[in-house]
Amino acid sequence: MDKMVRLSSSKAIQGDKIKPRTAAKDVRRQQLIEATIDSLARRGYAETTMADVADGAGLSRGIVNFHFESKEKLLIATLQYMSDEYAAHWRTSLEKVGDVPADQLRALVAADFDRAICTRRKLAAWCAFWGEAKSRPTYQALCGARDENYQRIFSGLCGKLRHEAGYDFDPEAIALALCSLLEGLWLRLMMGTENVTRQSALQCAYEFLAVAFPKHFDRPRETAQET
């Protein structure tokens, strides 16, 4: 019996040791990814180095090499993280509003300007990746899969609204126009042009919804300054 207790205790202690180490590894990886986003936003893609990321995370350069081995693997992991975060965010937004297509479309639009996703830091990192995607198949695959799925959701919702109200438009064309508008507003926010804020960008997108789907959405009221 005593031997069994000792064995059990030993396994428990070993388990306790493994969990913190696993947690520490995950924490360090996340620190490095966040530091990579910071560096992309500040320096751009070409000027971001493993040393910059290590310094930004407050970790040794050996730690960066241990977790990611190369700059390319670090950047791919960062893009994967951002893609997953973005997808999880808009899917959660959809789940919260139920099955009404108009509510779902409005939720998708609003999700793009939520503070959790829409920061100048993250927008700049997205732009850095977009600029490289054309010449990098891995980036194309990651960004392309996200965009294709996202576009399909928008097209489906536009089609449902057309069916409900008898609108005379091509759902895929309207969906493409809306997604292009959202991307353009992200770019303006990142560049800080024309005093565009998250709130004014969101109201612009709502204006588009009201014009494209007048039987489903009201024109947005004039909004107060963003706080």
What are the pLDDT digits (tens) for 189-221?
Answer: 988 777 899 999 999 999 999 999 999 999 877
Give pLDDT, residue 144: 64
Among residues 96, 79, 189, 89, the alpha carbon closest in space to that of 145 is found at 79
- In the chain, residues under CATH classification 1.10.10.60 are 1-69
Give pLDDT, residue 219: 87
SS3 percent helix, strand, coil of the chain, rounded to 5, is 80, 0, 20
- In the chain, residues under CATH classification 1.10.357.10 are 71-221
Q: What's the 3-state SS for 186-199?
A: HHHHHHCHHHCCHH
Residue 139 predicted with pLDDT over 80: no
Q: How far is Cα 29 from Cα 65, in angstroms, rounded to an integer?
A: 11
Q: How far is Cα 115 from Cα 120, in angstroms, rounded to an integer?
A: 10
Give pLDDT, residue 7: 40
Contact criterion met (CB below 8 Å) for 136 and 75: no
Give pLDDT, residue 130: 82
Domain at 1-69, CATH homologous superfamily: Homeodomain-like (1.10.10.60)
* Architecture of the domain whose range is 71-221: Orthogonal Bundle (1.10)
> pLDDT digit string (tens) for 57-101?
999 889 998 999 899 999 999 999 999 999 999 999 999 999 999
pTM, rounded to two decimals: 0.80
Q: How far is Cα 113 from Cα 108, in angstroms, rounded to an integer?
A: 9
